[in-house]
Homo-oligomer: A and B are copies of this chain.
């Protein structure tokens, strides 16, 4: 296929064909990571701006490394040092970056819709690195990449996502990618955080962890956000760990080849038993490695679309 999107905003927008195209491109780039010199000149002379209005070391680092591998230059802008604090609007900040000939803006923002807002107003490429509780498409793509690589396929697999689904952009993006690729998705967690409305997205909703993971081929655990904990909707950390945490006992009753995933950073002893996080059936660190390849693919594909085709904008 011929890739035509300058932006990557939401997994919801992508066709099955587009998703597979990104994953195939990522597979090519994964090989580059095994060479002695791990760089390709694909984006040489281009500039990526990491515009992180909400902090994230891991995702920023992953995009920065992906850009280096593609020989792009990288500028990091974080909220605390940004002129955003001087009262300038997000749009003005972004228009300025475009005026400075940035080629790709990777944005993380605490507000849902921030990435789309920019993509609609800029001629340059915009990649969503997480916008509020909306979407985090590269995370879902790297999760799908990992499943496809380890299991040989995604279609027909049972994938259970466990945790705070309601407020999770990772969950939303995963649901879109996985259902498009033909997986059966089960959502589980406290009933306050896993509303039945998700059934409309084609998922099974289940409030019993044992039942939710019994026939799972993949168990994807979401991080419990200590820092965002909503008292009224959420049990205590200890309560969560005992009712919803992936313990050895629970994991022992799953399919013998069930695979453990987690977007990180993990809370050992909360959503996952510490030994399980490091066991052979955990692919948590491989997800990180695949994230580099998937982000290289996203930057390369979107960054290679001619802005000329978008001349109507700006």
Contacts and interface: CB of A to CB of B under 8 A. Distances in A.
A247 interface: no
Contacts of A98: 285
Given A36-B45, A99-B285, A266-B92, A61 B87 contact: no
A65 B100 contact: yes
Nearest to A77: B57
Contacts of A64: 75
Interface in A180-199: none
Contacts of A108: none
Contact of A57 (B36, B65, B83, B267): B83
A179 interface: no
Contacts of A286: 99
B47 A68 contact: yes
A265 interface: yes
A285 B95 contact: yes
A289 B49 CA distance: 16
A146 to B, nearest CB: 12
Interface string A245-259: 000000000000000
